[in-house]
Amino acid sequence: MTIIECSGLARRFRLNWALRDCDLAIPAGHVVALVGPNGAGKTTLLNLAAGLLRPTAGRLTVLGGERPGSAAARARIGFVAQDAPLYGHLPAGDMLRVARNLSVRWDDQRARDRLARTGVPLDRKVSKLSGGQRAQLALTIALAKLPDVLILDEPVAALDPLARHDLMGSLMAAVAQDELSVVFSSHVVSELERIADYLVVLNAGRLQLAGEVEALIAGHRILTGAGGEMSLGSQRAAVVHASTAAAQAHLLVRMPAGDQVPRGWQSQPATLEDLVLGYLRDPAARMLPGQAPATAGEVAVPA
- DSSP for 257-301 reads TTPPPPTT-EEEEPPHHHHHHHHHH-TT--B-TTPPPP-GGG---
The model scores a pTM over 0.75:
yes
The residue-averaged pLDDT of 80-85 equals: 81
Asked if residue 116 has pLDDT above 90, the reply is yes
Mean pLDDT estimate for the chain? 86
Q: In 69-100, which positions are buried (b, 16+ CB within 10 angstroms) versus exposed (e)?
A: beeebbbbbbbbbeebebeeeebbeebbeebe
Strand order through the sheet with 238-245? 238-245, 248-254, 220-225, 266-269
Contacting residues for 214 by C-beta, under 8 A, at least 6 apart: 197
CB 49 within 8 A of CB 202: no
φ and ψ of 136, to 5 deg:
-65, -35
- pLDDT confidence bin for 245, thresholds 50/70/90: confident
Q: Where in the chain is the domain with CATH 3.40.50.300?
A: 2-213
For 213-237, the pLDDT digits (tens) are 999 999 899 998 875 555 665 556 6
| pLDDT at residue 84, as a whole number | 74
Contacting residues for 5 by C-beta, under 8 A, at least 6 apart: 24, 25, 26, 60, 61, 62
- pLDDT confidence bin for 290, thresholds 50/70/90: low
Q: How far apart are alpha carbons 255 and 261 in whole angstroms?
A: 9
| pLDDT at residue 298, as a whole number | 41
Domain 2-213, CATH class in plain words: alpha beta
DSSP assignment string, 31-100: EEEEE--TTSSHHHHHHHHHTSS--SEEEEEETTTBPTTSHHHHHHEEEE-TT----TTSBHHHHHHHHH
The amino acid at residue 88 is: G
- pLDDT confidence bin for 94, thresholds 50/70/90: very high
φ and ψ of 59, to 5 deg:
-125, 140
Q: How far apart are alpha carbons 142 and 249 in whole angstroms?
A: 47
Helix H or strand E segment including 153: strand 149-153
Give the least confident one: 193-207, 246-260, 281-295. Answer: 281-295
CB 286 within 8 A of CB 203: no
Query: Rg of the chain over CA atoms, in angstroms?
Result: 22
Q: How far apart are alpha carbons 216 and 199 in whole angstroms?
A: 9
For 124-151, the pLDDT digits (tens) are 999 999 988 998 999 999 999 999 999 9
